[in-house]
Amino acid sequence: MGFINKVKGELLDIIQWLDDSDDTLVYRFERYNNEIKHHAKLVVREGQVAVFIHEGHLADVFKPGTYTLETANLPVLATLQAWKYGFESPFKAEIYFCSTRQFTNLKWGTPGPCTMRDPEFGVVRVTAYGLYSIKIKTPELFIREVVGTDGTFSTGSIEDNLRGKIGTRIKEVMPEAGIPIIDLESKVVQLGETLKSRIVPAFESLGLDLVEVQVQDIGLPEEVEKAIDKAGAMRIIGDMQSYTQYETASAIRDAANNPGGLAAAGVGVGMGFGMGGQIAGAMAGNTPPVRLPLPPPLPADGQFYVALDGRQSGPYDLSAMRKMAHSGQLTRESLVWKQGFPAWIAVGQQHELDLLFGFVLPPVPPG
């Protein structure tokens, strides 16, 4: 921050501002009793402007250079103080140094989600963040409209206000730009330029120049980001046949390294080919026709095993067992078994086998 060597009661000879900060926009020159000596030296460095104010009135403005203060180069101040013939005595005035360099890396962001209508995703809430740069364009206007009587005015004193102007205006710009959600990231430069053109008048009314607006990030809802990632993955897959072959080879490799070995791989291969065919058909737009379910097949005769001479025989269907019953090879005491039986059971205990003996003649009684 600038400083002067002052001794109380003495007049000042050199007026200057040495700025060692990185955020000071305006600095009021400290002086004793507001008195400035005639023929004092004014030093205005590059990137600065000096503004003289007399009794609340904006007077003379000095650009970079070294000046000897006298009535010749203080015409407005001389008029305000009614100097008709020059002056040799001290005069009173306030001096404000304004920094005219660029102030960069100032941050902005939308104060809340911006609602947009997208042709693909419908209504989407979007946020945006970025940086902007400013500089003082009209020092007199900036002092009058913003600084007032503050002795030191930094970017922090006005940053909230400027951030709000940008964040609010972009909530208008983004929906009006007509850019699809999926293309917003690639259009950040266009958005920044459009935003700047919309806000420049508001900044100029404060005496500021909006040098640059950067849109650095677009925030999308999580579900929209997932949908975009999924669509990109499907485009990358492209050839479903190659994708299926790759997945099948991976399944065989993984199964060989796991318990169950290639037996499990067979299941994976089948699922891979089946899924690949379904996805490939869906991507190609080949939707299969709707088919009504077929009726179930007629029930087949049960297959029975028969105990003959202490040995398991069969399996036999009901037709074969009927012939065995007619020949006397199968009796009601014969033991049978089929899938689902808990154990071997006598034929006579199975009602479904009663028909086997329906036409068997009883034995002839003895003479």
Q: Find which of 125-139, 170-184, 290-304, 322-336 is predicted with most confidence, using mean pLDDT.
A: 125-139
Task: For residue 336, give its domain range.
Answer: 304-357
128 and 213 in a common domain: yes
**Separation of alpha carbons 13 and 308, rounded Å:** 135
Residues 129 and 153 in one domain: yes
Asked if residue 331 belongs to a domain, the reply is yes
Same domain, 39 and 114: no
- Please identify which residue in the block is written with the tokens 């009601």: 332
- Regarding whether 169 and 117 lie in a shared domain, the answer is yes
Q: Which of 185, 220, 255 is the last residue of a domain?
A: 220
Higher pLDDT, 216 or 354: 216
Mean pLDDT estimate for the chain:
78
Give me 314's structure tokens: 């069969």
Lowest mean pLDDT among 90-99, 259-268, 341-350: 259-268
The answer on pLDDT for 351 being more than 90 is no
313: pLDDT strictly greater than 60: yes
**Whether residues 163 and 204 fall in one domain:** yes
pLDDT class for 215, splitting at 50, 70, 90? Answer: very high
In this structure, are residues 29 and 15 in contact, taking their beta carbons and an 8 Å threshold?
Answer: yes
Mark which of 220, 250, 284 sits at the end of a domain.
Answer: 220
16: confidence class by pLDDT, cuts 50, 70, 90 = very high
In sequence order, what are the residues at sequence separation of 6 or more whose Cβ sits closer than 8 angstroms to the Cβ of residue 267?
none
Identify the DSSP state of 114. E
Answer yes or no: are the C-beta atoms of 80 and 61 closer than 8 Å: no
**Which of 182, 199, 220 lies at the terminal end of a domain, its last residue?**
220
Per-residue pLDDT reduced to its tens digit, 137-178: 999 999 999 998 888 999 999 999 999 999 889 888 888 888
The torsion defined by the Cα of 138, 141, 144 and 147, in degrees rounded to 10, comes to -40
Same domain membership, residue 81 and residue 22: yes
Q: Running DSSP on this structure, what letter comes out for residue 101?
A: S
Tokens of 8: 């109380």
For residue 16, give the nearest of 32, 5, 25 by alpha carbon: 5
Q: Are 228 and 214 in contact (CB under 8 A)?
A: no
Q: CA nearest 85: which of 100, 66, 72?
A: 72
Return the pLDDT at 315. 86
Question: What's the whole-number mean pLDDT along residues 60-74?
Answer: 86
Please tell me whether residues 29 and 130 are part of one structural domain: no
Q: Let me know if residue 115 belongs to a domain.
A: yes
User: What's the structural domain count of the chain?
Assistant: 3
Residue 267 within any structural domain of the chain: no
pTM: 0.57
Does one domain contain both 120 and 189?
Answer: yes
CB 119 within 8 A of CB 29: no
Query: What does the pLDDT look like over 237-277, one tens digit per residue?
Result: 665 566 566 667 767 777 666 655 545 444 444 555 555 55
Position 19 in a domain: yes
Token pair belonging to 153: 């005015």
Nearest 5°: the CA angle 241, 246, 248 is 95
The alpha-helical segments, DSSP class H, found in the chain are: 75-80, 139-142, 159-177, 188-204, 222-237, 240-256, 261-284, 318-326
| Per-residue model confidence (pLDDT) at position 340 | 77
Q: Is the pLDDT of residue 8 over 50?
A: no
> Crossing angle for the helix pair 261-284 and 240-256, nearest 10 degrees?
170
